[in-house]
Each structure stands twice: as C-alpha cells, then as structure tokens.
Amino acid sequence: MTENKTALSWWVMFSSMACCLAIGLVVPDAAVAKVPAIGAVAPDFTLRSSLGKNLKLSEYRGQVVMINFWATWCAPCRQEMPELNRLYAQYQRAGFVLLGVNIDDNLKAAQELSAQLGVQFPVLFDSAKQVSGRYDIDAMPSTLLIDRDGKVRYLHRGYRRGVEKEYEDKLRELLRQ
C-alpha cells in the first residue's frame, strides 16, 4: 500500500510539472534570478542622469564600471560619497566610470544632496525603482563593480569605514586586466 502511495505521489508531481510546462506556467529564469551573479553579465539599463541626458550601462563596455545605489535618507551613503568622489577622481582617466543610482522618489532632494556633498560622478535617477529592483537592492548603499566585458565582479551591501580600500583593490585589479 505504501509503495502505491509513493508511486501515486510521484505520478501526481510529475504530471503537475508536465502540465505547468505545457501551459507555460514555469517562471522564466530572469524573473527568479534578479541579482546578477558574480561572473554574469550585468543587466543593461537606461536612466536619466544629473548630466541632463539618459545614460545606458552598456555604453560603458570596455571600461570598469562601479554602480553605487544610494538614497538621501541613508546616513552611510552620505559618509561614503567623499570616498567615492576620491576614487572617481583618481581612476577616471584610467578607464573607470562611477554611476551613482539614486532611488529616492523626490528627484529634487537627490539633486540637492548630490550638490551639497560635491558629487563629481554622474547621478542616475531610479525613482520608479525598476533598476534597483532588477538588481535586487535591499541595502543602502549597495555597490557593484563591473569589468570591461560587462560582467559583475564584486558586490557589497551596506557601508562601513574602510570598505573603500576593498573597492580600490578590486578596482585596480580590474583596471589591470
């Protein structure tokens, strides 16, 4: 009797999966895996920028790109900005691009804080949270490093003093490649 129940359970599970496949109820990989895995190509996006034009991630292929997700209400983000400015100023001529993706609803507040903090790198505005959603950003700030081929090579969530040294080490490594 137990063997029959086990066989029946397997048959029900198998036929349920077959039905789901047949009618297309299987969730596509892209919907399941939001976070780009280390070594995977970073999902492309286009966002309005503080430079007054739209910027597209894929236009920076061939350069090392840092994406820093931040918000005005995030105190650690404010602490990190001077360090990011320093990295940007130091490595920009070597093929380094830094994109600050702000997730605030209030675009004006983001622009004002960027100006107040003296942000030198482009700030992109993701008020609809589509890009931060695709990247499954759940901590502020969150920072990714993308290599010249467009692959994610490093991800750090949050901020603590000294993490910029890790950023710089990874950045220098990627610039040498």
pLDDT at 131 over 70: yes
Mean pLDDT of 128-145: 95
For the chain, which residues make up each domain, given as ranges? 1-32, 34-176
Give Dmax over CA atoms of the chain in angstroms.
74
- 106 alpha carbon, distance to own chain's centre: 20
Average pLDDT over residues 25-35: 42
- Please name which of 106, 133, 110 lies closest in space to residue 45, comparing C-alpha atoms: 133
pLDDT at 35: 64
Q: Are 98 and 128 in contact (CB under 8 A)?
A: no
Residue with structure tokens 């029946």?
8
A 10 A CB-CB count for 156 gives: 17
pLDDT of residue 34: 54
User: Is the CATH number 3.40.30.10 carried by domain 34-176?
Assistant: yes
Average pLDDT over residues 111-127: 96
Q: What is the pLDDT of residues 33-73, one digit of tens each?
A: 456 789 999 999 999 999 889 999 999 999 999 999 999 99
Q: Is 27 exposed, middle or buried (0-12, 13-18, 19+ CB in 10 A)?
A: exposed
